[in-house]
Amino acid sequence: MATLLELKQNLKNFYIKYEFYITLAWKFLLAIIALSMINSKLGYQEALGSPLIVLMCALLCAILPANFIVIISALFTLTHLMALSMETAAIGLVLFLIMFLLYYRFSPRDTIALILTPICFCLHIPYVIPIAFGLLNTPAAAVSVSFGIVTNFYLDFIATNAATFRDTGVSVEPADAASRVQSIIEGVFQNKAMFVTIIVFALVTIIVYCIRRLSIDHSWDIAIVVGTVFMMISILLGDVIYGTGVSILGVIFGSVLAACIAEIIQFFSFNLDYKRTENVQFEDDDYYYYVKAVPKVSVPAPDRKVKQINRAHKTENSPEIQKQIKKTIRTTQSKSANTTNVTNTQTHADHVVRRTPVRDKASVSSSRQRTIQR
Amino acid sequence: MVNEEKVILMTRMAAFAAREGKKEQKINQYFRSDYVGFEVVKSAISATIVFVVLFAVYAMTNFTSLIDNFYGASLEDFGRQIFTIYLIFLIGYCVISYIYFSFRYAKMRDKMKQYYNDLKKLRKMYEKD
């Protein structure tokens, strides 16, 4: 555990140091994954399949705000659908219009769920999404997740029935076009599996959010476990009632995997030491205060310094060497006076090795987090 | 000597100004009624566009039944029916927008009040010095 916390601290320090470049890198990677996924799933417009275009668009997304990834992905999707047929593109456009005009006006930060949900479905880890968004976001994220699910099912439906909707070059009668549109809408919106997934994911997001906000020890762990169990039961129940055709083993393993990933997310985003939690009470003229002070775990990253003193024709017991050793010990002891532990002190005539944990400013200044409850 | 309290205060204010402060400042330029009203108008336009698009899709997919209704019932009844649905949709969406943006404005005011209080505190600290 200590090693993991140390790793977390190192990662945090690394992130603080290179935040600008890391942000560029994750946006670039997310854009590459999203665009490649769209190309592999749809891929009807061959020009967009070129790695150069994907790379250029990803670079553009890396520089621009994160929401731009969603816009570029939507444009890629619509272009592919347009190459397939106008009807599929029209329905796609309507879906995106509804999402952007009706919902993302309120919560533009949530648009990333629209990208992440289909990506997770593609990677066969869809159950991570509701738990992760419940842990890291607000219950309103349930709406974004639902939009992501609709997009994913729509793209899946088009990909599997591409032959039916493909334009053959012969002019289509208006009545045929209308019947095509009707069959797409029926195919997507009468899919019971989609509705079961939307309802379950939305409920899991809300449940996980509510539990992790509770003022109880290990609330995040409890939220993950309860959310996972609820999701497993609900999806299997949905399969029994509506015959959604999900694989039971897939649901169980997928949910367990989702819980493991959620634990990793939880570890890196939130970690508290419950052993030193303090509950104190005091009062002023107007109120009584019941304060729960929960200290943050902060592990000092060890800063190993190796000082080598060469023998240089002097014996082990020579006064100069003894003086040097004493001086080194004194300096390192004074440096480590404020730290918690000093390990591996090894003095030798040839080598003086000391491991001195050094606390960085951030960990010292934010060593305690106080939660004040009135 | 460094005044730790002053440093903490200034750090907090600088962080706010750099992140949320810009957006909050923009909203703060308006009166509450102006801001909420403007956002509700934008919501009404969005809702109208979405309704028109949805109606077009519905008309496309149910073309024959729509034509039957059109000839079967009077034009006035048909129009009234569509208009009622539109009004319900529009009012519902505008009410949600009103609640959301009112809440958003109140939240902004709280944050700005906190920011101004910090500024006052800081000024007092400087006056003490």
Question: At residue B85, does pLDDT exceed 90?
Answer: yes
Number of domains chain B is built from: 1
Same-domain pairing of A328 and A268: no
Residue B94 lies in a domain: yes
- The reported pLDDT for the residue numbered B94 is 94
The overall average pLDDT reported for chain A is 77
Of the two residues B114 and A215, the one the predictor is more confident about is B114
Residue of chain B with shortest Cα separation from A90:
B57
Question: Kindly report the CA angle at A42 between A29 and A154, in degrees rounded to 5?
Answer: 100
Q: Name the amino acid, one letter, at A294.
A: V
Count CB pairs under 8 A between chains A and B.
37
Nearest CA to A130 among A235, A260, A227?
A227
pLDDT of residue B96: 92
In this prediction, residues A88-99 reach a mean pLDDT of: 90
Contacts (Cβ under 8 Å, ≥6 apart) of A209: A134, A135, A137, A138, A139, A223
**CB pair distance less than 8 Å for A101 and B93:** no
Q: Are residues A141 and A79 in the same domain?
A: yes
Going by the DSSP 8-state scheme, the letter that residue A278 receives in this structure is E
pLDDT in tens, A170-193: 666 767 777 888 888 888 888 888
Name the residue with higher pLDDT: A153 or A283.
A153
Counted domains in chain A: 2
Residue A374 clears pLDDT 90, i.e. is over it: no
Instruction: Among A250, A276, A302, identify where a domain stops.
Output: A276
Let me know whether A21 and A64 are in one domain. yes
Examine residue B129 and state whether it is found in any structural domain, yes or no: no
Reduce the DSSP state of residue A367 to 3 states and report it: coil
Let me know if residue B49 belongs to a domain.
yes
Show the CA angle centred on residue A202, arms to residues A196 and A208, nearest 5°.
Answer: 125
Q: Is residue A299 part of a domain?
A: no
Is residue B16 included in any domain, yes or no? no
pLDDT for the residue A355: 40
Digit-coded pLDDT (tens) for A306-345: 777 776 555 555 566 667 767 766 766 655 544 444 334 3
Are residues A189 and A323 part of one domain? no
Given a cut of 50, is residue A353 above it in pLDDT? no
Residues from chain A that touch B57, judged by Cβ atoms under 8 A, are 90-91, 94, 181, 185
Residues B5, B74 contacting (CB under 8 angstroms): no
A105:B42 CB<8 A: yes
| A269 and A218 fall within a common domain | yes
Instruction: Write out the DSSP string of B40-79.
Output: HHHHHHHHHHHHHHHHHHHHHHTHHHHHHHHHHS-HHHHH
Does residue A336 share a domain with residue A261? no
Per the structure, the complete domain to which residue A255 belongs is given by 2-165+180-276
d(C-alpha B74, C-alpha B78), whole Å: 6
Instruction: Chain A: give the shortest CA distance to residue B38, in Å.
Output: 13
pLDDT(A79) > 70: yes
Residue B17 lies in a domain: no
Looking at the predicted structure, is the pLDDT value of residue A29 above 90? yes
Q: Give tens-digit pLDDT for A114-168.
A: 888 999 998 888 999 999 999 888 888 888 889 999 999 999 999 888 888 777 7
Q: How far is the alpha carbon of A366 from chain B, nearest alpha carbon, in Å?
A: 11
Whether residue A197 is found in the same domain as residue A248: yes
DSSP character string of A19-55: HHHHHHHHHHHHHHHHHHHHHHHT--SGGGG-HHHHH
Nearest to A153 by CA among A103, A123, A189, A186: A189
Instruction: Say yes or no for a CB contact (<8 Å) between A94 and B42.
Output: no
Does some domain include residue B26? no
Quote the pLDDT of residue A343: 38
pLDDT score recorded for residue A271: 55
Last residue of a domain, one of A276, A293, A319: A276
Chain A residues with CB inside 8 Å of B46's CB?
101-102, 105
- Examine residue B1 and state whether it is found in any structural domain, yes or no: no
Domain of residue B53 covers 33-122
Minimum CA–CA partner of A93 in chain B: B53
Query: Is residue B5 one of the residues assigned to a domain?
Result: no
Lowest mean pLDDT among A34-43, A135-144, A282-291: A282-291
Per the CB < 8 A criterion, the answer to whether B5 and B125 are in contact is yes
What ipTM, to 2 d.p.? 0.75
Angstroms from B96 CA to nearest CA on chain A: 10
The verdict on residue A304 lying in a domain is no
Domain co-membership, A47 together with A192: yes
Q: Quote the crossing angle between the two packed helices B32-61 and B63-72, to the nearest 10°.
A: 100
B60 to A181: CB separation less than 8 angstroms, yes or no: yes
B114 vs chain A: nearest CA distance in angstroms? 17
Greater confidence (B104 vs A175) lies with: B104
pTM: 0.71
CA angle B77, B81, B83 (to 5 degrees): 115
CA distance A179 to A234: 35
Residue A301 lies in a domain: no
Q: Is A353 or B2 the better-scoring residue by pLDDT? A: B2
Answer yes or no: do A105 and B57 touch at CB < 8 A.
no
Q: Is residue A289 very low, low, confident or very high in pLDDT (cuts 50, 70, 90)? A: very low
